[in-house]
Structure 1
Amino acid sequence: MIDQNYRWYPVCTRSRAEKKAHEELTRKGISSYLPLKKTVKQWSDRKKIVEEALVKSYLFVYISAKEYAEVLMTNGIARFIYFSSQIASIPEQQINDLKLLLATDADLEVFEYDIKPGERVLIKAGPFKGILAELVSIQNKQRIILRLQNMGYAIEINTSVAFVEPI
């Protein structure tokens, strides 16, 4: 039986402290979830596959309201995330969806921009780097349609939304 008082809450960790905070919460008996992605890191002498947080400085805790203080007193935890002056909660289905996404070998990208059609953008990486355009639509995260300035044409290009930033 699921306890209705328990919910998933996003918490912000100190910089690069996601794994330590997750371990500390687990040691205290508090259920937490740290979504991790595998990334190839390049050093001057070698490459290595490492696991890092999918969303930097975030992890999720499954707690009731009476455990708020205990979470905040955990090493590495900075604060709860608020939305409309209340602690934000995440539906369990979204956590399950995130776990399902990470169970695949899909190459996931997380980016902070919420770019909407009609916004002027700058392509900051990839083969189209430096191009100024207007975002017409996003077909999916890897395929976007841009309207180039003063051309009157829309061009569908194969580039990641992560390479585009609003200006």
Structure 2
Amino acid sequence: MNWYVVYTKPKWEKKVADKLKQAGIECYCPLITQIKQWTDRKKKIEIPLFSSYVFVQLADSERNSVFQVAGVVRYLFWLGKPAIVKNEEIEAIKTSLKAPNISDVSVSTIQVGDRIKLESGAFSNQNAIVQEISNNYYILVLETLGCVLKIKYK
């Protein structure tokens, strides 16, 4: 069985995960603990690591069963097909969130204008500026080398 990513209504991640479990569907909503401060108090709260996403594990033939749950909007798609997450990636998320030395975790996406450092490949350790993002490629400007790099992904 594959892990799929379900897109939920905003702020419904924990509710959807609870209802999916009640319906007998294996799901995972990674949570992190943050301290929120109001004017009169501080409180530890659990918030989802990924906004509006819940992972579900089910057979391909049972994929439509998640739409019985209120708050489920759609599946996340990648290149025209439902995005599949490897079991090892789910386990890596679970393991890293259990680590005792994690104090603050945040997830963000790459956007046009962001400065990034390439970590692998022929241009590893080079700084780049994201110039364009498309459905299947990035265009990066490598200032130190004076060139433009187009990276295709599948």
TM-score of the pair, normalised by structure 1: 0.66
- 2:117 aligned to 137, 145, 159, which one? 137
For residues 58-105 of structure 1, what are the alpha-carbon distances to aligned partners after superposition, in whole Å with 9 as ceiling and x for unaligned? 010000112211112211111100111111100100000000011113
Gaps of 5+ in 1: 1-5, 122-134, 140-144, 148-167
**CA positional deviation for 1:137:** 2.9
What is the correspondence of 1:19-98 to structure 2 with a 5 Å cutoff? 19-98=14-93
SS at match of 1:109: coil
Tell me which residue corresponds to 2:109. 112
Tell me which residue corresponds to 2:3. 8
Q: Which amino acid aligns with 1:33?
A: Y
Q: Which amino acid aligns with 2:40?
A: D
Stretches (4+) displaced over 4 A:
none
Rounded to whole Å, the distance in 1 between the matches of 2:22 and 2:71 is: 13
What is the correspondence of 1:145-164 to structure 2 with a 5 Å cutoff? none
Rounded to whole Å, the distance in 2 between the matches of 1:137 and 1:61 is: 32
SS at match of 2:34: strand
What is the RMSD of the two structures over their aligned residues, measured on CA atoms?
2.5
Tell me which residue corresponds to 1:154. none
TM-score of the pair, normalised by structure 2: 0.71
Q: Which amino acid aligns with 1:71?
A: V
**CA positional deviation for 1:9:** 0.4
Gaps of 5+ in 2: 120-125, 129-154
**CA positional deviation for 1:11:** 0.7
**CA positional deviation for 1:109:** 1.8
Q: Which amino acid aligns with 1:81?
A: L
Q: Which amino acid aligns with 2:20?
A: L
Tell me which residue corresponds to 2:148. none
